[in-house]
A and B are shown apart, each in its own frame.
Chain A
Amino acid sequence: MKQKSQRKAVVENVAQIIFTICAFFAVLAVLSITLYMIISGTPAIFKVGLKEILFSTEWAPTAKEPHFGILYVILTSIVGTSLAILLGVPIGLLTAVFLAEVAPKRIAAMVKPAVELLAGIPSVVYGLLGIYLLNPLMYKLELALFQDSGGHQFTGGANLLSAVIVLAIMILPTVINISEAALRAVPAGMKAASLALGASHMQTIFRMIIPAAKSGIVTAVVLGVGRAIGEAMAITLVSGSSVNIPLPFNSVRFLTTAIVSEMGYAQGTHRQVLFTIGLVLFAFIMVINVCLGKILKKGEAENE
């Protein structure tokens, strides 16, 4: 009897130790990544100067007198992500409303798996579709729009707009799933009260249910931003990858694609600056995470 309880105690302890190790593994990973990013990203800041890197627009890393300005790259990431959100969130939110409130069961049973499948498609597939379907279409549009204007450099359809469209599609699953859950979490009693007061179904959705699910929807948007700003593979194939000011029909380079496209042969300071770009991206993601934490906390406070 005593032996049995002793064995039980050992199992308990061992299990606890295993759980603790697993838990700290994630913490360790985050800490070491942070440390690594800072160690490898800062030397270039001291060598080139933070102001020169962040606020100069000239990117010529292999020139005789190299320039490492990534202002356009940062702007591209901000503009590209914002446009993708502007395009993707309304579509995603309305899809979520459709799934949660409007759709007949049979149609919802068709749409829902399609959305889930969208989340499972590897990003390189989005990129390839972008090259073979989106870029040629975009090139036709580009040819029509800029036929007579002399100053435009033709990019063959590889531009900011293509990247934005790909990003907007890629954030859809995140936005749809999380906002749908938020919409479904609105208490049935509130909806019933709104209908009982004489509001129509649509009035109830837009005046009552969506505002009530606000914090969940904002969470969806922030996670969408995180997904969009960190994406590299899909947009490196469709964005043209030249460093330019982020206008819709310009070939552009994002923070992520700047790292991906030049890491192969970069040496010396050039390589170190690429790590600094990684650090900038890391800072962006951190800010997004902090925002997300604040929103979630606020949402909890409201619910209480």
Chain B
Amino acid sequence: MMKKKSSRILGVLGACVLAVGSLAACGSDSSVEGEVSQGSALSGSIQMVGSTSMEKYANALSEVFMENNPDVTVTVEFVGSGAGIEAVNNKTADIGNSSRNLKEEEKAAGAVENIVAIDGIAVCVDAANTVSNLTKEQLTNIYNGTITNWNELGGTDAPIVVVGREAGSGTRGAFEELLGLEDACAYANELDSTGAVMAKVAATPGAIGYVSLDVLDDSVKALDLEGVAATVENIKAGEYFLCRPFVMATNGEISAQSELVQSWFDFVLGAEGQEIATEVGLITVQ
């Protein structure tokens, strides 16, 4: 009885050893191949400098890129869009992150605008609101406290409840920057998440709020701005103004960059990179 059992155990053990051995052989084969292909293509470091708004996006990208290519180091500094483009033009950085379009003089100095993603913001009101379109000026005046009633905008006689995000939020930063309202907004509610803004706007008659375009749902009504609906298509066509490009500027065309930087852009504009953009709430450009 005893003997039988132990021999069976031995048999199982033997099978295990064989299986592990063959697995190990496979493993070593493929890993050698991997090292060869990666080692020849990618090693070195990429320096990115620029926009603070792009911090979340740039960090997510560089983490995955470094995971895919262990011999590559991507360093990212967040000092502002202008400083990033300047660094590219001075050739002190490989890539300059900018959360706005490049200016003519920046392009003249050699920087090339490579748009990698778009940050879109939707303005929403409660579902029963009769106003469906705002001009840029009207929106600005609502948020700086000049317009306080919907009847000034062709709506019903109801006060406007101005809802926004807390200081430090990227959406708030982009919204205020695009309207030229940096730290000039008169918020009645400063909520600390996109979900809270949506819930408050949905539940409060006369409320207005802004959220990242990708989270919009039917609980609120998205407003047209300057007669243009807040859709991904309109943003890509450049007709909707409440959006900003995320630019990774290079000194000269991408094709003129080092192999490493070129494969960085292959990654960023490829399927994996665009998926990351979607994950952090951005609109893809591909």
Contacts and interface: CB of A to CB of B under 8 A. Distances in A.
A60 B207 contact: no
Contacts of B188: 153-156, 158, 240, 242, 251
Interface string A254-265: 000000111011
Interface residues of B, number: 30
Nearest to A62: B167
A135 B148 contact: no
B206 A265 contact: no
Interface string A14-43: 000000000000000000000000000000
A275 B52 CA distance: 23
A276 interface: no
A131 B199 contact: yes
Contacts of B169: 264-265
A47 interface: no
A242 B203 contact: no
The residue among A136, A153, A251, A270 with the most chain B CB atoms within 10 A of its own CB is: A153
A228 B6 CA distance: 69
B187 interface: yes
Nearest to B163: A156
A292 B192 CA distance: 34
B192 to A, nearest CB: 4
Given A60-B167, A62-B168, A157 B183 contact: no
A64 interface: yes
Contacts of A265: 166, 168-170
A31 to B, nearest CB: 31
B204 A156 contact: yes
A267 interface: yes
A131 B195 CA distance: 13
A154 B159 contact: yes
B198 interface: no
A63 interface: yes
B191 interface: yes
Contacts of B170: 265
A156 B200 contact: yes
Given A63-B183, A156-B207, A158-B200, A264 B168 contact: yes
Given A136-B203, A153-B148, A156-B207, A241 B166 contact: yes
A225 to B, nearest CB: 26
Nearest to B162: A153
A109 B188 CA distance: 44
Interface string A193-233: 00000000000000000000000000000000000000000
B190 interface: yes
Nearest to A267: B168
Contacts of A135: 203-204
A139 interface: yes
Interface residues of A, number: 33
Contact of A261 (B148, B182, B190): B190
Contacts of A156: 161, 163, 188-189, 200, 204, 206-207
B186 interface: yes
Interface in B151-204: 159-163, 166-170, 173, 182-183, 186-192, 196, 199-200, 203-204
Given A136-B203, A156-B207, A261 B189 contact: no
Contacts of B187: 242, 251
Interface in A39-75: 60-64
A266 interface: yes
B272 to A, nearest CB: 26
B110 interface: no
B192 A241 contact: yes
B182 A64 contact: yes
Contacts of A261: 166, 190-192
B111 to A, nearest CB: 25
A237 B193 CA distance: 11
Contacts of A131: 199-200, 203
B58 to A, nearest CB: 15
A157 B189 CA distance: 10
Nearest to B191: A241
A60 B183 contact: yes
Nearest to B189: A240
A253 B192 CA distance: 12
Interface in B51-85: none
A154 B206 contact: yes
A136 B203 CA distance: 8
A93 B102 CA distance: 67
B145 A153 contact: yes
A102 interface: no
A123 B155 CA distance: 38
A136 B202 CA distance: 12
Interface in A118-147: 131-132, 135-136, 139, 143
Interface of A: 60-64, 131-132, 135-136, 139, 143, 150, 153-158, 236-237, 240-242, 251, 253, 260-262, 264-267, 270
13 contacts: A61-B167, A62-B168, A153-B162, A155-B161, A156-B161, A156-B200, A241-B166, A251-B190, A260-B192, A264-B168, A264-B192, A265-B168, A270-B167
Given A60-B167, A136-B203, 8 more contacts: A60-B183, A131-B199, A131-B200, A135-B203, A241-B189, A251-B190, A253-B190, A264-B192
Which 7 pairs, one residue from A and one from B, show the smallest C-beta to C-beta distance? Answer: A265-B168, A156-B204, A154-B159, A156-B161, A63-B183, A261-B192, A155-B188
